[in-house]
Amino acid sequence: MDVESFFSEKRTWADGPYLHFVAVLDDPAYVAYAQAHHELLAPYGDRVGIVPAPWLHWTAQGVHHRLDDGQVETAVQAVREAARHAAPATVTMGPVWPGPSAVTVAMYPEEPLAAINTLVRAAMSAVPGVQLRESATRFWPHSTLAYFRSPSVHDAEFNRRLRTIRPERVEITISRLLAVHMYQDLDVGYYTWTPIAEIPLGAAEADAAAPEVVCGKTRTTATYGTTPPWGDSDAESEITVGRLAVQPPLSESQIRYESFASAALDDSTYFEDAEPPMPVWPDPVTVVCERPYGDGVCGSTRLRVRGSWNSPAVIICERGHSWQDTVEMMREVIVAAEPAR
Ligand SMILES: [Zn+2]
């Protein structure tokens, strides 16, 4: 059977990244489902681009030409407004389809996903300068497990082996979209992105009373150890913080002074007159959203932080702008949010 290489000339983007609206498929059940196929795919080496867990997604709609920052902001706001009238979609992932240029995962039922696609298209069509590709007569919701990078992958043997895997299908709920700058990463053979903004499907939940979190001041084994202090290290939490601050790192001389002072303080006879002055820590800096908004930057400090003990913090401002921070920040926010446990 003749198959295509996915990143053919006609599919290669001229000047990406391009604005896309995706749902990140990071549900651990779906990640396990996808990974159940990796053993089959691994022997094909770089003839396939296996999509790693962080990049599993469903594309609700993409734009395939460049936009300026103002157009991106307008499009994101338009989709955000429209998405308030949408609803989360619960769908079944599977079965797997070996297609002509990629291995894809079916998503059913199709209607709620098609409805989200229609809504995003309608919102974006109203943005000056945005041109969408013609829509298919019937929207095809799918998620890609792997892209073929060579025409010699997907033979009869490949199909037979794929058919023997058949993991149980999994149900997931898509409750938010992520606006991203989408890249075709031709070196690895799949798509990657940088996040722009998160968009809830349906009205956003009310803010809960939120703790202030200062990260980086108490680098303890509790926050930096490999095991969580409680619970499942892969369980996702989303925590609203009243103010998120980061402690700038100490300078080298401050670190030396700290260790000198604490060693000296252990020996109470060391200081003849008085204890040395405490080292001056730099003031914590409040985390501010720096995404463009209107004529300037967003500037929001009302933030939510999402992730698990083992995943980097995703920080989302009140306008839905989102960006990624470190695993360490996520751990400190988890510890700060549930100090009693
Ligand atoms: Zn923002």
pLDDT along the chain (341 residues), means of 10: 73 89 95 96 93 96 94 92 90 94 96 96 94 91 95 86 95 94 91 90 54 63 55 82 78 64 59 59 80 84 89 90 88 75 48
> How many other C-beta atoms are found inside a 10 Å radius of the C-beta of residue 209?
6
Distance from residue 294's CA to the centre of ligand 1 (Å): 11
Give the SS3 label for residue 24. Answer: strand
Q: What are phi and psi of 237, to 5 degrees?
A: -120, 150
Distance from residue 303's CA to the centre of ligand 1 (Å): 9
For residue 240, what are the β-bridge partners?
A: 304
Tell me which residue of 285, 281, 324 sits closest to 301, measured CA to CA.
285
Distance from residue 177's CA to the centre of ligand 1 (Å): 16
Question: Residues for the chain: how many in total?
Answer: 341
In the chain, beta strands by DSSP E: 18-24, 48-50, 57-62, 89-98, 102-108, 142-148, 170-174, 176-185, 190-200, 212-215, 237-241, 243-246, 285-286, 292-293, 296-297, 303-307, 314-317, 322-324
Contact of 323 with 287, CB cutoff 8 Å: no
Distance from residue 293's CA to the centre of ligand 1 (Å): 7
Q: What are phi and psi of 144, to 5 degrees?
A: -100, 130
Distance from residue 300's CA to the centre of ligand 1 (Å): 5
**pLDDT value, residue 208:** 38
**pLDDT value, residue 235:** 83
Distance from residue 182's CA to the centre of ligand 1 (Å): 19
**pLDDT value, residue 298:** 87
Distance from residue 123's CA to the centre of ligand 1 (Å): 20
**pLDDT value, residue 68:** 93
> What digits encode the pLDDT tens for the residues 90-120?
999 999 999 889 999 999 999 999 999 999 9
Distance from residue 12's CA to the centre of ligand 1 (Å): 31
Report angle CA 20, 23, 29 to the nearest 5 degrees. Answer: 150
Distance from residue 19's CA to the centre of ligand 1 (Å): 17
Contact of 116 with 89, CB cutoff 8 Å: yes
Q: What residues contact 317, with CB distance under 8 A and at least 6 apart?
A: 289, 291, 298, 300, 301, 302, 303
Give the SS3 label for residue 45. Answer: helix
Distance from residue 63's CA to the centre of ligand 1 (Å): 22
Q: Fold for domain 18-200? A: Cyclic Phosphodiesterase; Chain: A, (3.90.1140)
Spell out the domain ranges in the chain.
18-200, 212-248+283-337
**pLDDT value, residue 207:** 37
Distance from residue 251's CA to the centre of ligand 1 (Å): 30
Distance from residue 80's CA to the centre of ligand 1 (Å): 13
Q: Which amino acid is at 136?
A: A
The kind and range of the H/E element at 162 are helix 156-165
Report angle CA 321, 323, 324 to the nearest 5 degrees. Answer: 155
The edge-to-edge listing of strands for the beta sheet with 212-215 is 212-215, 243-246, 285-286
